[in-house]
Amino acid sequence: MARYARSEAKAAARKEFTGIWAALTTPFTTDGELDLGAIGTDIDYLVEDLRIDGVFTTGVMGEFWSLTNAERMKSVEAVVEAASCRIPVLAHTGHHSARDTIELTRHAEKAGADFAVIISPYYPPASQEGLRRWFHEVISSVDIGVWLFDTSFSGVTLPLGLIDELADLENVCGIKVGHDHTRYLETLGLVGDRILVCEANEGMWLENIRDHGQSVYMSSSIPFLYQTKDYQPMREYTDLALRGEFEKAAEVAATLEPLRALNSKWLHGQWLRDRTLQVPFIKAWAKELGMAGGDVRAPLPSLTEEQRAELRADLAAVGLLQAAGK
């Protein structure tokens, strides 16, 4: 269960959300079933080897739309058990159904997740009043601290006026802004005095720490795609920046430009260019560095052997495979 009262959610979030958080993928067995053992192995790697500060589970990178509600619950339980109170867990419980969202959110709290995050309802298209009713129904029905998830992946952009209204609810404690930097700044200026506002853009992370007081990178797959046990530039520059050593942090952050170019080629750049969701490429990249990786569920396409070979060659060319001991 959450270790704070509903009225304490905002304060609890400001205490817990610091450093680097990672958005998990969901591993499947070779016959397409949920691989609970691989979840535990991945969590151990993130905690022990990469020193990740927290995890976001069963979200967009976790292919939540392809999981049954029972599988989502099992996945959250497995993540919480593997985390073993070593790091906090943020469970994505969003669904287009308000009732399913409530059920999943209550389950996450009961399972021991520290907070829940809720994507905007993605079908059918809703008016501002419809979105308002949906969020109030969900949030009023749960006690755990809730993050809003305003992302282009949902096909819905939350109206700023609604974000402003929801930020006043006692158990709404943060918002992950998955749009451009301008939208992040607008949201920060509007509600940053009441809830945490996060932009999961590694390229802007240092600036957001230095200029906008962001203290948590929450969250994406980048922390385990750009780093290995023996090569952790994101961890290094984050720690420097959070200590106020911005010039040193900038020197380290600049070394990531080759990896950012690969991100543009294989990951978020594909989404921006042609709306190709990057999850299959994230899983393939992560597997090359020692995580479970694996295949995806339909309707996402699997990588071709030619794509896998090209990705491996690109990772080798920037030295990442060598850093992983490959």
The DSSP secondary-structure symbol of 47 reads I
Q: How confident is the model at residue 154 (pLDDT cuts 50, 70, 90)?
A: confident
* Tens digit of each residue's pLDDT (9 = 90 or more) over 281-310: 999 999 999 999 999 999 999 999 999 999
* Tens digit of each residue's pLDDT (9 = 90 or more) over 263-281: 999 998 898 899 889 999 9
- Of 156, 109, 112, which is closest to residue 134 (Cα–Cα)? 156
Amino acid 2: pLDDT: 55
**The pair of three-digit structure tokens given for residue 309, joined into one six-digit string:** 């070979």
Q: Would you say residue 196 lies in a domain?
A: yes
CA distance 104 to 86: 23
CA distance 181 to 285: 26
Q: Would you say residue 285 lies in a domain?
A: no
Whichever domain contains 146, its CATH number is 3.20.20.70
SS3 of residue 160 by DSSP: helix
Contacts of 107 (CB under 8 A, 6+ apart): 73, 76, 93
Looking at the structure of the chain, the number of domains it has is: 1
User: Average model confidence (pLDDT) for the chain?
Assistant: 96
Q: Would you say residue 13 lies in a domain?
A: yes
- Whole-structure pTM value: 0.96
| 13 pLDDT higher than 60 | yes
* Spacing of C-alpha 117 from chain mean position: 10
Amino acid 1: pLDDT: 44
% of the chain beyond a pLDDT of 70? 99
Contacts of 266 (CB under 8 A, 6+ apart): 278, 281, 285, 311, 314
Q: In what order do the strands lie in the sheet containing 146-151?
A: 196-198, 172-178, 146-151, 115-119, 89-92, 54-57, 19-23, 216-220
CA distance 86 to 26: 20
13-22, 123-132, 214-223: least confident range: 123-132
- Of 217, 227, 232, which is closest to residue 290 (Cα–Cα)? 227
CA distance 245 to 228: 23
CA distance 31 to 33: 6
Q: Would you say residue 100 lies in a domain?
A: yes
Cis amide prior to 264 (ω within 30 degrees): no
Domain range for 230 is 6-255
The DSSP secondary-structure symbol of 89 reads E
Residue 92 phi, psi dihedral angles, 5° rounding: -80, 125
Amino acid 326: pLDDT: 84
Q: Identify whether the C-beta of residue 210 lies closer than 8 Å to the C-beta of residue 246.
A: yes
* Tens digit of each residue's pLDDT (9 = 90 or more) over 121-140: 999 989 999 999 999 999 99
Q: How confident is the model at residue 207 (pLDDT cuts 50, 70, 90)?
A: very high
CA distance 84 to 86: 5
Q: Would you say residue 293 lies in a domain?
A: no
Interior angle at CA 129, CA 124 and CA 130, nearest 5: 25
Q: Would you say residue 146 lies in a domain?
A: yes
**The pair of three-digit structure tokens given for residue 191, joined into one six-digit string:** 């509600």
Q: Would you say residue 177 lies in a domain?
A: yes
Q: How confident is the model at residue 177 (pLDDT cuts 50, 70, 90)?
A: very high
Q: Would you say residue 66 lies in a domain?
A: yes
**The pair of three-digit structure tokens given for residue 20, joined into one six-digit string:** 């680097």
